[in-house]
Amino acid sequence: GDSVTQMEGPVTLSEEAFLTINCTYTATGYPSLFWYVQYPGEGLQLLLKATKADDKGSNKGFEATYRKETTSFHLEKGSVQVSDSAVYFCALSVNDYKLSFGAGTTVTVRA
Amino acid sequence: GAGVSQSPRYKVAKRGQDVALRCDPISGHVSLFWYQQALGQGPEFLTYFQNEAQLDKSGLPSDRFFAERPEGSVSTLKIQRTQQEDSAVYLCASSLAGQAQETQYFGPGTRLLVL
């Protein structure tokens, strides 16, 4: 079935460090890919998305490129802040409405 | 504007009790979703409504789980005869029309603990 595998956490970084969270997918069709973020005490919210191969999603300094050849959608940010501390979820949707999520990666940024 | 709201935020139930979890979607959103998130895991799809029609309930784990959206707005997820394995966060999400690329907006969740 359709699934997402993402890098296990937790990840701890210092402020201004570079962040990468790996995400790979398995899908029978052509999925749309998403990164959702859950800040402490808040609900899941969409961070960015890409709907076709080679698309780049970006938001709040985060970027991810839809790579069909490697079935990947890695999340990157060049310089993290303490406020980026959260749980990050990679997700996909294949030609329908269901979101299939990865297990989540907890990121902690130290001042 | 107001986002998706859920109530209660926390629920403790004794094993065997019935519980009802409420979701108020964003006004005007046609599609409504329920997900179950176990501790340390990503959300898992439970069921999907388009207006009042339940179009997909393939993710409901057993016949003890029942969801409804009778007027196409508020939805209730009911769990009968709760078991300890039902302990999880139950998330509700809504979207404008339920298309694959569309953003789903999530509520804060209801954390259910079954003792």
Residue A36 confidence (pLDDT): 96
Q: Which chain A residue has its CA at the smallest distance from B38's CA? A: A103
Per-residue pLDDT reduced to its tens digit, B42-85 = 999 999 999 999 999 999 999 999 999 999 999 999 999 999 99
| Token couple for B76 | 């209730």
Least Cα distance to B101 among A88, A102, A62, A29 occurs for A29
pLDDT attached to residue B103: 87
Residue A9: the pLDDT is 86
pLDDT average, residue stretch A24-41: 92
A97-110 confidence digits (pLDDT tens): 889 999 999 999 99
Q: Distance, in angstroms, between B75 CA and closest chain A CA?
A: 18
Q: Which two tokens stand for residue A59?
A: 């938001």
Q: Which residues pair with B109 in a beta bridge?
A: none
| E strands present in chain B | 5-7, 10-13, 19-24, 31-37, 44-50, 53-56, 65-68, 75-79, 88-95, 105-106, 110-114
Residues of A in contact with B25 (CB under 8 A): none
pLDDT tens sequence across A33-61 = 999 999 988 889 999 999 999 999 999 99
Residues from chain A that touch B98, judged by Cβ atoms under 8 A, are 97
pLDDT at A41: 83
CB-CB under 8 Å, A93 with B100:
yes
Q: Which residues of B touch A106 (CB under 8 A)?
A: none
Q: What is the pLDDT of residue B100?
A: 65
Q: How far is CA A98 from the centre of its chain?
A: 17
**Distance separating alpha carbons of residues A4 and A52, to the nearest angstrom:** 16
Q: Does A100 touch chain B (CB under 8 A)?
A: yes
Nearest residue, CB atoms, A45 vs list B41, B43, B106:
B106
> Taking CB atoms and an 8 Å cut-off, how many pairs form between chains A and B?
61
Residue B40 — very low, low, confident or very high, per pLDDT cuts 50/70/90? confident
Whether B9 and chain A come into contact, CB under 8 Å, resolves to no
Task: With CA atoms as reference, report the closest residue to A90 among A54, A65, A53, A61.
Answer: A65
Give the pLDDT confidence of A58-88 residue by residue, as tens digits. Answer: 999 999 999 999 999 999 999 999 999 999 9
Q: Say if the Cβ atoms of A46 and B103 lie within 8 Å.
A: yes
Q: Looking at CA atoms only, how far is residue A66 from chain B in angstroms? A: 14
- For residues A18 and A37, give the distance between their C-alpha atoms in angstroms, rounded to a whole number: 17
Q: What is the pLDDT of residue A42?
A: 86
Average pLDDT value for chain B: 94
